[in-house]
Structure 1
Amino acid sequence: MTAASLELSLGPVSFYWTRERYFAFYERACHWPLSAVTLGETVCSHRRDMKLADWLEIGHQLAAAGKQVMLGSQTLIESNADLRDLAKLCDNGDFLIEANDMGAVHRLSEAGLPFVGGAALNLYNVPSLRVLKDCGMFRFVAPVEMPGKDLARLLADTRAAGLALDCEVLAYGHLPLAWSSRCFTARHHQHPKDRCQFVCQNYPEGLPLTTQDDSRRLFTLNGIQTLSGACQDLRHELGDMADMGVAMARLSPRTEGMAEVVADFDQARQGRCPAPSPLTLVDAELCNGYWHGKAGMDLAVLED
């Protein structure tokens, strides 16, 4: 079974990188077989190396390479300054927005602007999708913990209800699990959140949190965000996704080996997928439990 019609997209960078690393990464991404790219700082407003003008510059480079470009909004709005930044983002005039909180949805709806609904909006049923479609949503990212069979049912019900909405699924990367007003990375270094000294930038792949005996990576700390310890890998599910009507498989950026990850998923779309095994060029544990209705950290053993 192949999924050649399924498009690949690149999600926003979850971690705090240097300005130079962002520009170098997206220069390479221009040449990858991706249909869409979401840019922007979606986690923490303290991360200010990249200005809106920088994201717009990168966005135009990607658009010139034939990619659909979205700008992701911050997921947790905590201050009036965050609201002002949100307003500037939504009013950028160049690119559409991926709304990651209801404040962004409200502003975009008031302005009559179409948008993508991010996974953090937690859209689980047809009434919720209908409300946001009426607000201008044309695509949504499925909640990361939704099992594949439940998503298949939701998409079938959505079509039966006459709602024309594309769906995107996070197919590769650390799963975003929670956001908090506390900064766990700063606390690890005994810094107060407001004087964090930007220690997140010391962890371009996040800060691993392991079991007491260090036998397993449970979570990945990323400032105010908690991610899964393992990376979700749904290469072997792309055919089923295409059959159920998923439009895009999202890949979450990593610092190393991302070109190989994209290439592996591009091959998987063509039905050329090797036996289940870790992506050899990326040092990360893998998981797919949520998709199979199990504990998220599990890796189901698939048989050909």
Structure 2
Amino acid sequence: MADSSSAGSPSVRSLQLALGPVLFYWTRERYAQFYRDAADWPVDIVYLGESVCSRRRDMKLDDWLGLGRELAQSGKEVVLSSQTLIESEADLRDLRKLCDNGEFRVEANDQSAVQRCANAGLAFVGGAALNLYNTAAIGVLQRAGMQRFNAPVEMSGADLAHLLDDGRAQGVAVPCEVFAYGHLPLAWSSRCFTARRYRHTKDRCRFVCQKHPEGMALRSREAGEVFTLNGIQTLSGACQDLRHDMASIADAGASVARLSPRAEGMADVVADFDAARRGELAAPDPLTLVDAEICDGYWYGRPGMDNTRRDSA
């Protein structure tokens, strides 16, 4: 992998920045303010929608479409993210409406969304939860209408480079997106862990997720943040941060770096990643790399919670 010294190369400058869907449960007012601000940020692609839990009903499809139209007027490519875990007929009805919205492309986060888009002849983006690890699988979905895919979050940069090289050799060249910032989405369950923490049932959760706009930390006995609980979703405890690895993302052959929204400080995160792709991000100071909440291990083929820059400092 290249180091950050090549961050000014044309391949890095051509990297697009994508703002992923908000994974947490916010209020309508917070969503509205966040995307009003995001309209002025130097991101190229914005993903909208509820991809985690169908009980989060504050925002309807029409609300997401309204936000999408405003962002599109600001020059953003807008994509609607589908729910990752489909659990009921009601979820399927909502999925059909999402895929048939008639305005914006859909990020298919499970096979039912893939099937709906493919049957309707609609182009789509493949989400990371589709677990696309080989050229054959990518080729199948490309023929079904997939125009971009998200690499699995645990795939290393070296493995991704081999995958994309193999794809080009076989005539399967689909643009790839890398999860470059945020708590890594690791697993989904039919149980709601946040509701359980408050001793509520899932069906009567009282929407306690809204008390935790960046999820709820699950700590080990040694006080280390192992996971972040987000309703039915389990995220990494540490926040993946590849802002100093934009050159290696480009060298691997990816075309998009995805930034997952957080409740605070997101404008500064976007600004840093934009500076990195322009070769203007200052080199990291090893004396400041002591934040235990940062990780980059998966990208380097190590345990995901590792922080390679801190460990090498």
For 1:231, the equivalent position in structure 2 comes to 239
- For the Cα contact (< 8 Å) 1:138–1:164, is it kept in 2? no
Distance 1:12 1:41 in 2: 7
SS in 2 for 1:46: coil
Query: What's the C-alpha RMSD, in Å, of the aligned pairs?
Result: 1.5
Say which of 187, 193, 205 aligns to 1:184.
193
* Structure 1: segments with no counterpart, 5+ residues: none
For 1:13, the equivalent position in structure 2 comes to 22
For 1:301, the equivalent position in structure 2 comes to 309
Task: State TM-score, norm by structure 2.
Answer: 0.93
- For the Cα contact (< 8 Å) 1:289–1:298, is it kept in 2? yes
- The alpha-carbon deviation at position 243 of structure 1 amounts to 2.1
Distance 1:277 1:262 in 2: 19
Report Cα offsets for 1:162-202 as digits up to 9, x if no partner. Answer: 12310000000000000000000000000000000000000
Say which of 281, 291, 302 aligns to 1:273.
281
Report Cα offsets for 1:191-224 as digits up to 9, x if no partner. Answer: 000000000000000000011132x111000000
Aligned pairs, how many?
Answer: 300
- For the Cα contact (< 8 Å) 2:295–2:307, is it kept in 1? yes
For 1:31, the equivalent position in structure 2 comes to 40
Report Cα offsets for 1:60-113 as digits up to 9, x if no partner. Answer: 010000000000000000000000000000011110000000000000000000
Report Cα offsets for 1:25-61 as digits up to 9, x if no partner. Answer: 0000000001101000000000000000000000001
- The alpha-carbon deviation at position 284 of structure 1 amounts to 7.4
Task: Confirm or deny that 1:148 pairs with 2:137.
Answer: no
- The alpha-carbon deviation at position 271 of structure 1 amounts to 2.0
For 2:127, the equivalent position in structure 1 comes to 118
Task: Confirm or deny that 1:65 pairs with 2:91.
Answer: no
For 1:99, the equivalent position in structure 2 comes to 108
Say which of 46, 56, 59 aligns to 2:65.
56
For 2:252, the equivalent position in structure 1 comes to 244
**Which amino acid letter does the alignment assign opposite residue 254 of structure 1?**
R
Distance 1:243 1:225 in 2: 31
- For the Cα contact (< 8 Å) 1:167–1:248, is it kept in 2? yes
SS in 1 for 2:13: coil
Compared CA separation, residues 277 and 30, structure 1 to 2 (3 A) = farther
Tell me the percent identity: 65
- The alpha-carbon deviation at position 240 of structure 1 amounts to 1.6
Distance 1:119 1:213 in 2: 31
Compared CA separation, residues 26 and 153, structure 1 to 2 (3 A) = same
Distance 1:87 1:267 in 2: 39
SS in 2 for 1:22: helix
**Which amino acid letter does the alignment assign opposite residue 264 of structure 2?**
E
**Which amino acid letter does the alignment assign opposite residue 277 of structure 2?**
R
Task: Confirm or deny that 1:173 pairs with 2:189.
Answer: no
Distance 1:137 1:82 in 2: 22
For 2:216, the equivalent position in structure 1 comes to 207
Report Cα offsets for 1:131-150 as digits up to 9, x if no partner. Answer: 10011001000000001100
Distance 1:284 1:58 in 2: 35
Task: State TM-score, norm by structure 1.
Answer: 0.96
